[in-house]
Amino acid sequence: MKLRKHIPLALLAACALAHGGEPECVVPSKPGGAMDLTCKLARKGLEARHGGHMKLTYMPGGIGAVAWHTMVGQRRAEPDTLVAFSGGSLLNLAQGKFGKARAEDVRWVAALGADYGMIAVRADSPFHTLADLMQALRTDPHQVLIGVSGTVGSQDWLKVAMVAQHAGVDPKQLRFVALEGGGEEFTALSAGYVEVISGDTSEATLYAGPGKVRVLAVLAEHRLPGVLANIPTAREQGVDVVWPLIRGVWMGPGVSDADYRRWVKAFEQMEGTPQFAQLRAESGLYPFSVTGDALTQYVKKAINDYNRQAKQFNLLR
């Protein structure tokens, strides 16, 4: 164990092999969504900076609950296993959707970037603007089928709920279909199973395009650069709803201080490179690099903020 402390970070993969395996990133959802994107971004960035190979493992269920309890309860001390998280994960913790789980139960490693909410429809939808959708909700909210990742109280649900409030519609009157992750949302939209989806801009950069998906609004303070540069914000359309979130990775609570700091340092070095900035942009994320103790404090504050927001909608368990 003492020898491992002196292994350069550039030999990260070789270091992992000392434990009998390669580094792993657990995706707590089905393939194709933003959690998947998070792990793939971490893999690309780490491999570009430190070499080696990182495998991805998919562990869907309970919008992150299965992965959380599996890692905390059964795989709590694995020194080279990371788990993707998002602002939605923190919202679930704030609402008690992971049972008695708390932020202190895991070790928060690194935030890889910032993301924003968005509302989208099929390219052939009769809804061309956010105003069109809001008018339809006012006319008959039961006639609009909305796909969200998670159930009532999830971040995707909350985004639409806040938009509905601006339209003067009680969110409880809306019709939702609970789906497992962003990839499943876009699949359901493409198949015509739902008419509207509430997701994230990083997912939209993967699926939106001519003849495919029309993004009605991004829930950011200002228009975003890149693929979605021409998409107006909700604020521009008279709806003051902004939904920022972060994406990152955590480790099990039993991981040693030495291994935890090793990974924090690896991400700090990776995120400081121009190559990672390019990879992050290609993934549809925006700069937000916080690691280790600073990330832990950020997460605790975010959960407190989400808790207050949840109380406004009577969502606490």
pLDDT for the residue 316: 62
Q: What does R_g of the chain's alpha carbons equal in angstroms?
A: 20
Architecture of the domain defined by 3-115+244-312: 3-Layer(aba) Sandwich (3.40)
Q: Can you say whether residue 92 is alpha, beta or left, with left for phi > 0 and alpha for psi between -120 and 50 degrees?
A: alpha
Percent of the chain at pLDDT above 90?
A: 71
> For residues 149 and 88, is the Cβ–Cβ distance under 8 A?
yes
> For residues 238 and 159, is the Cβ–Cβ distance under 8 A?
no
Nearest to 11 by CA among 42, 41, 63, 52: 52
Name the CATH superfamily, with its identifier, for domain 116-237: Periplasmic binding protein-like II (3.40.190.10)
Q: Is the pLDDT of residue 72 over 90?
A: yes
pLDDT for the residue 309: 77
Q: Is the pLDDT of residue 277 over 70?
A: yes
Cα dihedral 68/70/75/81 (nearest 10): -50
Angle in degrees, CA 44, 48, 259, rounded to 5 = 85
- What is the token pair recorded at 99? 């049972």
Q: Is the pLDDT of residue 93 over 50?
A: yes
pLDDT one-digit tens code per residue, 211-258: 789 999 999 999 998 889 999 999 999 999 999 999 999 999 999 999
- Position 21 confidence tier, pLDDT thresholds 50, 70, 90: low
Lowest mean pLDDT among 12-26, 255-269, 295-309: 12-26
Nearest to 33 by CA among 177, 176, 149: 149
What is the bridge-based pairing of β-strands 196-200 and 24-27?
unpaired
Q: How far is CA 135 from CA 21, 128, 193, in A?
A: 55, 12, 21
Q: Is the pLDDT of residue 4 over 80?
A: no
Most confidently predicted of 49-53, 92-96, 119-123: 119-123
Q: Can you say whether residue 164 is alpha, beta or left, with left for phi > 0 and alpha for psi between -120 and 50 degrees?
A: alpha
> For residues 98 and 83, is the Cβ–Cβ distance under 8 A?
no
pLDDT one-digit tens code per residue, 159-208: 999 999 999 999 989 999 999 888 899 999 999 999 999 999 998 988 87
Nearest to 245 by CA among 50, 90, 61: 90
Which contiguous run of DSSP H or E holds residue 264? helix 257-271
Rounded-to-integer distance, Cα 122 and Cα 140, Å? 20
The structural domains of the chain, with segments of one domain joined by +, span 3-115+244-312, 116-237
Q: Is the pLDDT of residue 20 over 70?
A: no
Q: Do domains 3-115+244-312 and 116-237 have the same CATH topology?
A: yes
Backbone angles phi, psi at 119, to 5 degrees: -120, 130
Q: Is the pLDDT of residue 24 over 60?
A: yes
- Position 297 confidence tier, pLDDT thresholds 50, 70, 90: very high
Crossing angle of the two packed helices 130-139 and 155-166, in degrees rounded to 10: 80
pLDDT for the residue 177: 94
Q: Is the pLDDT of residue 13 over 80?
A: no
In this prediction the pTM is 0.80
pLDDT one-digit tens code per residue, 123-154: 999 999 999 999 999 999 999 999 998 888 88
Cα of 196 vs its chain's centroid, Å? 19
- What is the token pair recorded at 259? 């291994």
- What is the token pair recorded at 132? 């069109």
